[in-house]
């Protein structure tokens, strides 16, 4: 079954119980919402790793990869959750601000004096490709430190108490021009009222 159809099936079978974690482009979720517009009301919560709070892009000058890869889907999601309090957004910059040293990482995964426990082995396997990507210099803005972007979103998904500071705002996604895929935040409420708040932007983690 296609992922979009499975989301709809599960949400209808377990209304208000499902907590959804998205760590890539929002194509499947956007499609699911197009097929079932009531999907947001059926979900309990949505946690997204994507976008950038200050338009510091990692794929273009202003856009983060996950939103840039399918901005139409990201915009569909943003609009669908207008007026709800279900969405947590862990941005590119938020994850960067919580990067840690390679020495710490090596010990965490059982190298350089660290114990190779089951947890260390899982961490090593889960971050193996990302580690090589960053250490090769291919990850924009990252080389001296390690940052498991998606794992931070998963951590907040599992334990919301890890959020130290956040702000509720309305966000949209730019669909054209040189800034295509950029996360647009209505900082001062000029474009939308409180009735269209749709996102808790995570700014700092414990």
Please list the pLDDT of the chain residue by residue as tens digits (206 residues).
999 999 999 999 999 999 999 999 999 999 999 999 999 999 999 999 999 999 988 899 999 999 999 999 999 999 999 999 999 999 999 998 888 888 988 988 888 777 789 989 998 898 888 888 888 876 655 667 888 889 999 999 999 999 999 999 999 999 999 999 999 999 998 877 778 999 999 999 98
Q: Do residues 169 and 187 lie in contact, with contact meaning Cβ atoms separated by under 8 Å? A: yes
Reduce the DSSP state of residue 103 to 3 states and report it.
Answer: helix
Domain 3-96+149-205 is in which class? Answer: alpha beta
Q: Domain locations in the chain?
A: 3-96+149-205, 100-145
How many CA atoms are closer than 13 Å to the CA of 72, on its beta-carbon side?
4
Per-residue pLDDT, 141: 57
What SS3 class is residue 151? helix
C-alpha–C-alpha distance, residues 134 and 142, integer Å = 6
- Does the global pTM surpass 0.85? yes
């Amino acid at each position: 079954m296609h992922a979009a159809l499975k989301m709809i099936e599960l949400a209808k079978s377990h209304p208000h119980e499902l907590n959804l974690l998205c760590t890539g482009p929002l194509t499947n979720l956007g499609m699911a919402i197009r097929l079932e517009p009531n999907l947001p009301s059926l979900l309990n919560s949505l946690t997204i790793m994507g976008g950038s709070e200050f338009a510091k892009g990692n794929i273009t000058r202003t856009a983060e990869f996950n939103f840039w890869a399918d901005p139409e889907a990201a915009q569909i999601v943003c609009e669908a959750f207008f007026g709800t309090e279900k969405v947590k957004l862990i941005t590119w910059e938020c994850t960067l601000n919580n990067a840690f040293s390679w020495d710490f990482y090596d010990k965490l995964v059982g190298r350089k004096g660290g114990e190779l426990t089951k947890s260390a082995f899982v961490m090593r396997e889960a971050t193996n490709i990302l580690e090589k990507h960053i250490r090769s210099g291919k990850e924009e803005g990252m080389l001296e430190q390690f940052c498991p972007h998606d794992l931070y979103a998963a951590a907040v998904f599992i334990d919301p108490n890890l959020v130290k500071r956040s702000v509720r705002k309305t966000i949209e996604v730019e669909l054209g021009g040189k800034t295509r895929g950029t996360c647009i935040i209505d900082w001062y409420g000029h474009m939308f009222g409180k009735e269209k708040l749709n996102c808790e932007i995570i700014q700092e983690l414990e």
